[in-house]
Amino acid sequence: MNTNLRSESLGPADAASTGPRVGVLALQGDFREHARVLSGLGADVSLVRRPNELAALDGLVIPGGESTVMDKLSRAYGLAEPLKAAIADGLPVYGTCAGLIMLADTLLDAIADQQSLGGLDVVVRRNAFGSQNQSFETDLDVPALGGEPVHAVFIRGPVVESVGPAATPLASLADGRVVAVEQGNLLGTSFHPEITGEHRFHEYFLEKAGRRAAAARTP
């Protein structure tokens, strides 16, 4: 089922939206929160649950949730390989929390048979900050975004244990642990900007999606 978010009243974007066409992987997790943010920023947003719904997208968000469940459902629904192909083809993808785990090339503390989509040259540790009642908030300096520090919320989040030569750290905690990273059209954060009203990471992602859309329109 391909569900246009405007028909569900999940965002203020109107039918005349000229923003990039962005999908939100809607297998599990807080995909509706991302959808509202993206729609509010002017993107043409749709939910993605089946392989054919990846067609004609300028970008994709993989939300927070349970990475093990997302992995199993993406394989069960035949989405895993098309997602890997889209990533390899340069589709801009932003993964938050579980989404970062899904984008990592290497996982630590993964359960048996857990797989990732890969693409980010990083090693990520699942649930690096403990259980949900150990969630916390902090401010992060993110030079790539400029301006004020980013207020970040960590809920059972992963951490980037190491960054390979192809990837670039964007933000770290005070102890040096990396919690935001990018590599070309890929972007990942350990935290949840979709729930704090902090939209600069989404705007940064939409710039990537907008460039993809412009390139596709160029003869």
- Tens of pLDDT, residue by residue over 124-168, are 998 777 555 567 899 999 999 988 999 999 988 899 999 999 999
In angstroms, the CA 203 to CA 197 distance is 12
CATH number at residue 128: 3.40.50.880
Helix, strand and coil percent figures for the chain, each rounded to 5:
30, 25, 40
pTM higher than the cut 0.85: yes
Residue 192 is part of which domain span?
5-217
List all residues 6 or more positions away from 215 whose beta carbon is below 8 Å from its beta carbon: none
Q: Which residues are catalytic?
A: 97, 192, 194
Query: How do residues 4-41 score in pLDDT, each as one tens digit?
Result: 333 333 433 444 557 899 999 999 999 999 999 999 99
Number of domains in the chain: 1
